[in-house]
Amino acid sequence: MREDIKEILVTEEMLGERIRAMGTEISRDYQGKDICLIGILKGAFIFLGDLAREISIPTAFDFMAVSSYGAATRSSGVVRILKDLEESIQGKHVLIVEDIVDTGLTLSYLYDNLKNRNPASLKVCTLLDKPSRRKVPVQLDYRGFEIPDAFVVGYGLDY
Ligand code: 5GP
């Protein structure tokens, strides 16, 4: 382990097991529907890939990239869209796939932004949740792990 990494919060085995369960749950909840997974770049790309492989219903993908952190590695509250969706989500069942929800500012902005595009439904799936840092309330429909207030890296999350 690198010397600047203090501890392992979530092991590979824990990830695999939890993501399998989330995929099963999502497949069951969206039975009979097509689902559009929207991966939030860059942090969520590995999670999205692993999650998608555990979902057994027809799935489409699109991506958004937003800027969240400045040099200070703290949420600024200012969200800027760096890359927008390629397809319209109007009338579609949309699931936002995030790596981690911290203050909730990024997700809150994204949720409202996507809601305004009139999807048939809009839900949120995050791998990690740091509820102790929340500044705005957000609804998390699928959540992998609740973690303490620590800056986490690995599995595609920015370092
Ligand atoms: P929020 O707007 O909820 O404060 O922050 C959300 C975004 O900040 C996440 O999508 C993620 O990109 C980044 N982020 C928040 N906490 C962490 C962390 O502990 N590690 C890393 N690598 N990124 C984080």
State pLDDT tens for residues 95-125: 999 999 999 999 999 999 999 999 999 999 9
Quote the mean pLDDT of the chain.
93
Confirm or reject: Cβ of 152 under 6 Å from ligand 1: yes
pTM (2 d.p.): 0.94
Domain ranges of the chain: 2-146
- Asked if CATH classification 3.40.50.2020 holds for the domain at 2-146, the reply, yes or no, is yes
Confirm or reject: Cβ of 129 under 6 Å from ligand 1: no
Please tell me the distance between residue 33's alpha carbon and the centre of ligand 1 in angstroms.
30
Contacts of 62 (CB under 8 A, 6+ apart): 36, 37, 38, 39, 85, 86, 87, 89
Does residue 151 register a pLDDT over 80?
yes
Q: Is 34 a catalytic residue?
A: no
Active-site hit among 4, 34, 99, 102: 102
Q: What is the pLDDT of residues 4-49, one digit of tens each?
A: 889 999 999 999 999 999 999 999 999 999 999 999 999 999 999 9
Confirm or reject: Cβ of 35 under 6 Å from ligand 1: no
